[in-house]
Copies of this chain bind each other. A is one copy, B any other.
Amino acid sequence: MPDTLSTRLRAYAEVAGQLDVDAVALVPGPNFSRALGQSFMSMERPFLVVIPADKPPAAIVPNLELGSWRHVGFDGAVFDWKDQTGYDAAFAGLMDHLNIKSLAVEGQVMRVFVHHALKTAQPDLRIIDGEREISGLRMIKTPQDVAALRKAVDISERALHRTLDTVKLGQSEKQIEQMLIRMIFEEGADGLAFVPIVAAGDNSAQPHAHARHDYKVKAGDALLFDFGAQYDGFSADITRTVFLNHLSDEARDVYDTVLRANLAGLAVTRAGVTAHEIDDAVIGVLEASPYADRIRTKTGHGLGREVHEAPYIMRGNMMALPAGTVYTNEPGLYELGNFGVRIEDDVLVTEDGYETLTRFPKELMVIPC
């Protein structure tokens, strides 16, 4: 099937049918970019495409975006609105035009003010959260998607290699973070997948740490990097934990445990494995270790246009992963006040097994500095 605007929109119309609602709505974000082939900003301005199960799509477009909108090639009805007059009339016009009773929205993307505008225009509209099914269309990556992810990973890894070459005792986490960011852009990133986590010593025990201005790295520290470049709309997400000059026996054992967990997840990965099975293999290794009380997170998440997307790799999620899924395998062990270790790969599920898009070494790395 050719990848055109109309075939892409058709797929969302089919989701409406599956969910037994009259239409699917998309707002700027990853699904919107994928569906329309172009990304848009939303911020305080509602911007919406509604794709009915069995009628032509229609859209609400902020007037100032009409120029960019032309390039999309959308041939449905467009209700535009200007800052000066507000958007109530556009919503009323859209709902009148559509004549629908129920709508599935992206619960993780649509904000409450758009939900309210829809309900104001049509109080009896039934709105359900179709996040899983709508974003599910992004789960199987196309060859082009994978190529963009590879490039994002490649940029990230080159930036990490170059950054590690510059790390010196006495630098602040913030200084190391700034160097990493600079290298990511020098290597050709379009943007950052997210604000990098550069965390040393006790800060590495925070899964979502912030780099500190006032902490200087010292010998024996764990130094955790969790970051990614963005390239052509896709995000890498890689974590490596290195040690500076030396490490304790405890740290060595923890590192080995996390690495074994990561490898156990890879070992069960192939098309058809459930998210539950992967998490169970990974967390099982951690639970069987002396560090079970340091488990804080699930194994990982899908990766693509969003840094966190379906499938979520956790026990209880019985979704079978098709070939073409990309997920993060990122076990970690965290002891507050002590240190943490996380190792994160970006993994492409294939018919026969898997391919790790991340190629940065995972063997214990002690950086002389």
Interface residues of A (CB under 8 A from B): 38-41, 43-44, 63-65, 67-68, 70, 83-84, 86, 105-113, 115-116, 127, 129, 131, 178, 181-182, 185-186, 188, 190-192, 194-195, 205-210, 296-298, 301, 307-308, 312, 314-316, 334, 336
Contacts and interface: CB of A to CB of B under 8 A. Distances in A.
A347 B160 CA distance: 39
Given A111-B111, A111-B112, A297 B64 contact: yes
Contact of A108 (B44, B67, B316): B44
A64 B181 CA distance: 25
Given A64-B296, A107-B116, A113-B131, 13 more contacts: A41-B208, A44-B301, A44-B308, A44-B312, A67-B207, A68-B209, A86-B316, A106-B112, A113-B129, A115-B115, A182-B185, A182-B186, A185-B185
A351 to B, nearest CB: 28
A38 B357 CA distance: 33
Copy tally for this chain in the complex stands at 2
Contacts of A111: 107-112
Interface of A is mostly: loop
B185 A298 contact: no
Contacts of A110: 111-112
A192 B191 contact: yes
Given A178-B185, A209-B68, A83 B41 contact: no
| Most chain B Cβ neighbours within 10 Å, of A83, A129, A186 | A83
Nearest to A115: B112
A39 B210 contact: yes
Nearest to A65: B208
A312 B83 contact: yes
17 contacts: A39-B210, A44-B312, A68-B209, A70-B336, A83-B314, A107-B111, A108-B111, A108-B113, A111-B111, A111-B112, A112-B115, A112-B127, A113-B129, A115-B115, A178-B188, A182-B182, A185-B185
